[in-house]
Chains A and B, each alone.
Chain A
Amino acid sequence: MSGKPVRPRTRVGKYELGKTIGEGSFAKVKFAKNVENGNHVAIKILDRNHVLRHKMMEQLKKEISAMKMINHPNVVKIYEVMASKTKIYIVLELVNGGELFDKIAKYGKLKEDEARSYFHQLINAVDYCHSRGVYHRDLKPENLLLDSNAILKVTDFGLSTYAQQEDELLRTACGTPNYVAPEVLNDRGYVGSTSDIWSCGVILFVLMAGYLPFDEPNHATLYQKIGRAQFTCPSWFSPEAKKLLKRILDPNPLTRIKIPELLEDEWFKKGYKPTTFVEEEDVNVDDVAAAFNDSKENLVTERKEKPVSMNAFELISRSQSFNLENLFEKQTQGIVKRETHFTSQRPANEIMSKIEEAAKPLGFNVHKRNYKMKLQGDKSGRKGHLSVATEVFEVAPSLHMVELRKTGGDTLEFHKFYKSFSSSSGLQDIVWHSEAKQ
């Protein structure tokens, strides 16, 4: 069994950061867990210096504040914003159904009705955000996610100021300007609402066709085609769909269809149900202000999460002799310990995994938090459900001590549990016996 060290987890405020689930030049998105309630979230991490260098602070602050107030079923929710000296952390709703375009990559084009259903959701999201003065300006496949119920969620609203700085290079060098409105590419000055509608049109085309309306290997040719809106709809598009796409992919932003007109379009209206949802009131945006101002007061620190280091006295204070609570409890016959310990030279994360692996087959539900774990028996015993608290401590640089403590249920059942638990092969691998004990 490999004893390769597992990297300690990183904590930011009350969040424990996990693996990276998305990455750009100046930002990355990480999976994270709120250690207070166990909820999973995504955290977008922005480079604070990059924001400062490009004088985006005020704009970003304004847009993120507006976004925090948005509570729409088709928009990824912003829960809170934190900042450290070097980074800005935006805590987002975790959407785990993948990108909408993964679906196309896997199954090819969508049926017109299904494409229309997703387009309805996209327009609902865009319309709602526009009504709140928030524009996306960077709608593209990576920003369209699906939740576990296949509901569309648009992400990165309000982060466009940041994203555009990032994508300026991409558009000219190696990026794909395929979804970008002609007025944005030509840098003629543009209105966020109309450029978002153009991007929605490109997305609709891809959903129904399975390929891009403007796709050229040569950037100059591509820009030209986008500028003139030179595209051809495939034969399987219905005439109504073709007609609508012509109105959306209009190179002139002034004559391009607006959302109120779009909502009245015959093709669009088929099966359309406006979204019903409860708007949140009294959303606090103080955290956004705090994250973007220069005060050192509310800064969070990013720190590596590792087991509690136990000094000699913490070890000593665990002696049963010092637990005078026993004086107040009626005596039972024989020694019945309510806790037990073992040592291991394995990395703490590995110990945690092995404990979990050993406990689950014995019928225990496992709740983890940092290097603590609660094992809850699913069967009721003589004194209710057996529950065991487990914690991994570091007692020396290469040595961990694991403490298992009965927190509920019958003590004799705890002993029976520990006997089965400690004899499991996975646990045998990690329990360390010094030469003296072998």
Chain B
Amino acid sequence: MSSTIATDSHGLSDSWTIGERVCAALMPLIAVVEVLILTVTGCFSYCPCISIIDQNHKCTYTAKDFAILADETRFTVEEVEALHVLFKRLSSSLIDDDSIHKEELQLALFQTPYGKNLFLDRVFDVFDQKRNGVIEFDEFVHALSVFHPYAPMDEKIDFAFKLYDLRQTGFIEPEEVKLMVVAILIEFDMNLPDDLLEAIVHKTIADADKDNDGKISREDWKAFVSRNPSLLINMTLPYLKDITSVLSSFVFKTEAKP
């Protein structure tokens, strides 16, 4: 059967004109050139890089890209450029591929890439809006915008809710709170018996659950945070108000093309 096909196809080629033959011969070459052109020009239009682990895929951001990100967030173009310097430092700490992997975030926060941490997973997942397993520069800027001192409180409240809604059900449930308390105690190298754990969880749910459905809804959370503003203390990074001077000590040069 295979031989038949081969014969048929060979027979077809006999009827091709010279032009068609030249075209067929050049097609792969044209495709290669086209890919090269698209790759080069792609860096001049706003398309966030698609990073693949272990692939040294690079993407250069332009002034236009920075301007778009500045429009979408609370940062100025200069601040976005400064954040890009920081992003490059973080994203090249383990795998130099213009995206932050979980291990790289862990290295930055804990100064070690090893070990499992529930909260790190949550921070990473909330930053990784595209759910592709890495944090790209646009995701990084959008997420950090929430931490800006001038970001609206509602954004901060919502971001914190997403962090604590482990199963992403739209509710923070007692089991999730317990999991997080256990995780923080492990991080603090502390251990509590189950009855005390339950007491802490029960008291917190009771304080926050205004509609008495046994779990914390977004509305419950908003009201709870307004009564306990210290819960959002980590949702504001004073550094971001003056990010350009904070990051001026980093020796990296921005790769933005004018």
Contacts and interface: CB of A to CB of B under 8 A. Distances in A.
B196 interface: yes
16 contacts: A311-B200, A312-B201, A312-B203, A313-B208, A314-B228, A316-B184, A321-B110, A321-B122, A323-B109, A324-B147, A326-B109, A327-B90, A334-B111, A396-B200, A434-B192, A436-B193
Interface in A325-356: 325-328, 330-336, 341-343
Interface string A387-418: 00000000111010100000000000000000
B119 A322 contact: yes
Interface string B171-209: 000000100110110011011110010011101100110
B247 interface: yes
Contacts of A322: 119, 123, 163, 234
B43 interface: no
B230 interface: yes
Nearest to B108: A327
Contacts of A396: 196, 199-200, 203
A436 B187 CA distance: 16
B188 A327 contact: no
Given A316-B164, A325-B237, A397 B107 contact: no
A195 B102 CA distance: 85
Contacts of B204: 311-313
A364 B143 CA distance: 41
A320 interface: yes
B150 interface: no
Given A312-B177, A434-B192, A319 B187 contact: yes
A318 interface: yes
Interface residues of B, number: 47
Contact of A320 (B187, B193, B230): B187
B187 A312 contact: no
Given A312-B180, A312-B204, A321-B117, 13 more contacts: A315-B184, A316-B183, A317-B231, A319-B117, A319-B119, A321-B109, A321-B119, A321-B120, A326-B109, A334-B111, A395-B200, A434-B191, A434-B192
* Residue of A315, A322, A333, A401 with highest tally of chain B CB at under 10 A: A322
A286 interface: no
Given A327-B108, A330-B249, A332-B111, A313 B228 contact: yes
Contacts of A332: 111
A395 B193 CA distance: 13
A437 interface: yes
Contacts of B196: 396, 399
Contacts of A315: 181, 184, 200
Nearest to A315: B184
Contacts of B144: 324
Given A312-B180, A325-B237, A335 B228 contact: no
Interface string B90-117: 1000000000000000011111100001
B151 interface: no
Contacts of B117: 319, 321
Contacts of A401: 190
Interface in A295-312: 311-312
B86 interface: yes
B239 A328 contact: yes
Interface of B: 86, 90, 107-112, 117, 119-120, 122-123, 144, 147, 163-164, 177, 180-181, 183-184, 187-188, 190-193, 196, 199-201, 203-204, 207-208, 224, 228, 230-231, 233-234, 237, 239, 246-247, 249
Contacts of B233: 317
A313 B231 contact: yes
Query: Which of B112, B117, B147, B184 lies at the interface centre, i.e. has the most chain A CB atoms within 10 A of its CB?
Result: B184
A266 interface: no
**Nearest 3 A/B pairs, CB to CB:** A321-B119, A312-B204, A319-B119
A318 B180 CA distance: 11
Given A313-B231, A315-B184, A317-B231, A331 B108 contact: yes
Contacts of B109: 320-321, 323-324, 326-327
A390 to B, nearest CB: 15
A331 B193 contact: no
A280 interface: no
B124 to A, nearest CB: 9
Contact of B191 (A320, A323, A395, A436): A436
Contacts of A313: 164, 177, 204, 208, 224, 228, 231
B205 to A, nearest CB: 8
Contacts of B187: 319-320
A255 B164 CA distance: 85
Contacts of A343: 190, 192
Nearest to A434: B191
B140 to A, nearest CB: 10
A282 interface: no
A53 B147 CA distance: 58
Contact of A311 (B107, B108, B193, B203): B203
Given A321-B117, A321-B122, A332-B111, A341 B190 contact: yes
Contacts of B90: 327
Given A312-B177, A341-B188, A321 B123 contact: yes
A12 B117 CA distance: 44
Given A325-B237, A327-B109, A314 B231 contact: yes
A316 B118 CA distance: 11
A435 interface: yes
Nearest to A333: B111
A317 B231 CA distance: 7
Contacts of A323: 109, 234
